[in-house]
Structure 1
Amino acid sequence: MAEQLYWHDIEDTLGNWSGLGVEVEPGATDKPPLYLRTGANARIRLMHHDTPLFWATLARDYGGVWLVRNPLADGAECRLLAPIDSPTVEQHAALAPEQRIKAWSRYFVSRLSESARHFLTPGYWLAQGLLPESPSTARGLDNWRFNSRDDALTHLPNWRLYGEDFLDNLQPQTLEWIDWWHGGGKLIGLHRVDPEAGRLKWWRKKAREGSLPPVLLWYVGGLASYVVIDGHYRLQAALAENLAPSFIVLSATRVRDFAPSLEHQQRVMDSLRKRGDSVSRNPALSTENLNRVLIQAFDDRPHYHSATQAWASHETEAQWCDEVRQCLSGQGLADEVEAVIARRG
């Protein structure tokens, strides 16, 4: 039986949509089809059912993460959602631009919840838009910049992504170094994209028409990176057409209540009283600015913090090391094995 979930729109103080909050009630105890398995000494696997899609481990200096793809898993696509049909694409394309991310967020969350073993584990989740900045989107992949809605008044995670951090899905590398000191996290695909596939050609047409659906991402805290869980071909279509896509980021989240400081509130009120009629003499003290100061001082809405869920591994660390050694050696990368296993950046 699938878990019950409830969603609600999260808006800022001006009524602008900032994200979709999703509460998933405890239900079946089975693992989802896609999940993280973690072990001793910072050893990580991303599992699709019983098959590792990749292995990962943090460098000892926390400067980044080694990512080792499993080439044996490349033939089996990790499909969590049914393909998006043409009527659904056209229905969303007819919406005003500011409504599309909101509508697509509801679409993806609804579809993810339909399976008896769905991806959204019990707890609280957020779905947020990650949209291209303008005008950098027109200058090629290395100049692409993407941001979530930057709104301090909703206390949501603030996501960033750069085109230079997209990993190649046409010719994915077995071994990747995710450098946290220079560039931050990466955009990680889970399978190879066929450049001759008919659906890629269809999505390229939709990209040119301006109706390309967002690419669905999962933020994985242990990697400080985004994993594509739906939309590999949509992403590739956007790259082929040099048209920056939009994204929706799913993140497992902890919600923490927040109580404003009474002393701070009193200091703010005393300061505003002393200013008296200075609003008319100082343009910086407009009514809008005063309202923002008061809202921030008395805002008691909860804070949201990303917290990726993982399952403890029963395998020994030696087994993880053997799997990585066998994978890298089989791909002609035996010289890199020791750096990965020793967690050297």
Structure 2
Amino acid sequence: MRRSDVTRHDGRWVGLSLDVQDRHQPGLCVFSAGPRLLVSQQSRAVLLADVDERLAGVEFWRTGEYRSFVPPLRADVGRVLAGSPQRWAHRFAQYLVDSPDSPLHEGRWLLSCESPLQRRCRAGTSHAEYWGSMLVEGHPDGYIDWFFHAGSWEVLPLRPMPGPGDSSVKAYRRQAREGTLPPVLLWWVSGLDCHLILDGHARLAAAIAESIEPPLLQLHRTVPRDDLAARIDDAVGFYEDELARFAGLRAVHGPAVPDGAATAGPQLVRLLHDLNTAAQLTWAWPLPGGEARWRRVAQEVTAGQDWPRT
């Protein structure tokens, strides 16, 4: 895997670009069977989902079988890496690459300290209130509401969230107060239109209990390397076409017309930046056996309960 830092035009660090090769199917994999999804870790069913036929949301069932591929994070490591999302990103990237249980597969990914979740907190709303509201409730089953939370990209824990009195949460609350809390690792899954917590359930619970903004690292796919050169050519072509258009206007109307660089230049910078940062749809593999297999798995993990209810 090749990794490289992604920065904005002003030099501000955004995240790590991960170029993964020779990893055809991930250990933590999304399978699809029509409108139904199965998230599996190796051979273990982790999450089943059934998309509402009106496309208003998703019913889900968590099995409790998810296992984080991130080893326990020691408090002394948190103190050493405190305030450096870049160093944390390199550490988490290594965990993602080394573990057969991670969602990485071949292609380009971004592991970023920026998330749209952070931009949606309204002024006057406490961090505890906001982040508590972004958690999808329900165990083992629940509903991701696409109508009420359209575009808000909620957070779905892969196991029940621990309470504020949990021993791990208590330890992390101390780190939260000290400013040394390690980041929560999220994975945006387009088929669910929400983030799954890959690691950091207790850390997120601690941040909510202390009402601080949790440090985040968000993982998602970006533009595939096969498309990158063509997309760059398109962006540069747009820039050149804009300059040519303004040149034509100047020829007719005189030098009072700007040359267009002040408009087209920033647009080109944004387009090129998006090629390294914009989220692409999550890959899903066809589930062997299709919907019949999905229903058999659902029967097994729910012990024959009446789910899904639609």
From the superposition, tell whether residues 214 and 103 of structure 1 become closer, same or farther in structure 2 (CA, over 3 Å). same
Match of 1:221 in 2: 190
Match of 1:342 in 2: none
Unaligned stretches of 5+ residues in structure 1: 145-162, 280-288, 340-345
Cα-to-partner distance string for 1:36-79 (whole Å, 9 max, x where unaligned): 1212x222111122121121122223222221222xxx2x5512
Distance between the aligned counterparts of 1:272 and 1:64, measured in 2? 52
1:242 aligns with 2:235: no
After TM superposition, the score normalised by the length of structure 1 is: 0.73
From the superposition, tell whether residues 51 and 299 of structure 1 become closer, same or farther in structure 2 (CA, over 3 Å). closer
Distance between the aligned counterparts of 1:119 and 1:271, measured in 2? 51
Supply the AA of the counterpart residue of 1:199: S
1:115 aligns with 2:99: yes
Cα-to-partner distance string for 1:99-158 (whole Å, 9 max, x where unaligned): x222222221022222356542111111112364577486254445xxxxxxxxxxxxxx
> 137, 142, 155: which one pairs with 1:187?
155
Distance between the aligned counterparts of 1:17 and 1:338, measured in 2? 45
From the superposition, tell whether residues 138 and 243 of structure 1 become closer, same or farther in structure 2 (CA, over 3 Å). farther
1:165·1:187 contact (CA, 8 Å) conserved in 2? Answer: yes
Unaligned stretches of 5+ residues in structure 2: none
Where do residues 173-212 of structure 1 align in structure 2 (5 Å cutoff)? 173-184=139-150, 185-195=153-163, 196-212=165-181
> 10, 19, 23: which one pairs with 2:15?
19
Where do residues 300-319 of structure 1 align in structure 2 (5 Å cutoff)? 301=272, 303=275, 304-319=278-293
2:162·2:205 contact (CA, 8 Å) conserved in 1? Answer: no
Supply the AA of the counterpart residue of 2:294: W
CA shift for structure 1 position 224: 0.9
Match of 2:241 in 1: 263
From the superposition, tell whether residues 107 and 318 of structure 1 become closer, same or farther in structure 2 (CA, over 3 Å). same
1:35·1:46 contact (CA, 8 Å) conserved in 2? Answer: yes
Match of 1:38 in 2: 32
Distance between the aligned counterparts of 2:106 and 2:210, measured in 1? 38
CA shift for structure 1 position 246: 2.2
Distance between the aligned counterparts of 2:62 and 2:241, measured in 1? 53
Indicate the structure with greater helix content.
2
Distance between the aligned counterparts of 2:223 and 2:269, measured in 1? 22
Distance between the aligned counterparts of 1:205 and 1:62, measured in 2? 42
From the superposition, tell whether residues 60 and 269 of structure 1 become closer, same or farther in structure 2 (CA, over 3 Å). farther
Distance between the aligned counterparts of 2:254 and 2:147, measured in 1? 45
1:253·1:308 contact (CA, 8 Å) conserved in 2? Answer: no
CA shift for structure 1 position 214: 1.4
1:129 aligns with 2:113: yes
Distance between the aligned counterparts of 1:91 and 1:228, measured in 2? 24
1:136·1:143 contact (CA, 8 Å) conserved in 2? Answer: no
Q: Percent identity at matched positions?
A: 23
Supply the AA of the counterpart residue of 2:156: I
Distance between the aligned counterparts of 2:48 and 2:18, measured in 1? 29
Distance between the aligned counterparts of 2:101 and 2:192, measured in 1? 24
From the superposition, tell whether residues 69 and 321 of structure 1 become closer, same or farther in structure 2 (CA, over 3 Å). same
After TM superposition, the score normalised by the length of structure 2 is: 0.80
